[in-house]
Amino acid sequence: MTLLRSVLGLVILGQSARFVFSPAAAAGFAKTGLPNFVHLGLGWAEMAAAVIFLIPQFAIAGGWLLIATLGFAVVVHVLHGWFDVGGLIVYAAAAWAVMAEKKTA
């Protein structure tokens, strides 16, 4: 599970950074009608959660933070008619799997 935790944390960190720093992502998020601070807050929260998740001693806390931020992202997507949330759900399930393994170890 160390490999899954590392890969998941790095992938989410990279995608979240792209979400925060990409002008195209900012333009896409602007279509939601939500203020830009929601876009930045969600992206930075995902990056912080991913970094915490990557630290072995804090993997469970980071996992809960990832699940919460990914869940919020799913809600924002669905409320705006963007139903392509499968990747977010897979990421949340992977975080859950890492957390479950950490609790039994």
What are the extents of the domains in the chain? 2-104
**Burial per residue of 47-71, b for 16 or more beta-carbon CB atoms within 10 angstroms, e otherwise:** bbbbbbbbeeeebbebbbbbbebbe
46, 12 in Cβ contact below 8 A? yes
Give 59's pLDDT tier (boundaries 50, 70, 90): very high
pLDDT of residue 31: 85
Instruction: Report the alpha-carbon distance of residue 17 to residue 95 in Å, rounded.
Output: 19
Please determine, for residue 105, whether its predicted confidence score (pLDDT) is greater than 80. no
The confidence score (pLDDT) of residue 102 equals 85
Per-residue model confidence (pLDDT) at position 92: 98
- pLDDT score recorded for residue 44: 97
- What type of residue sits at position 6? S
- In the predicted model, is pLDDT for residue 61 greater than 80? yes
Find the helix or strand (DSSP H, E) in which 105 lies.
none
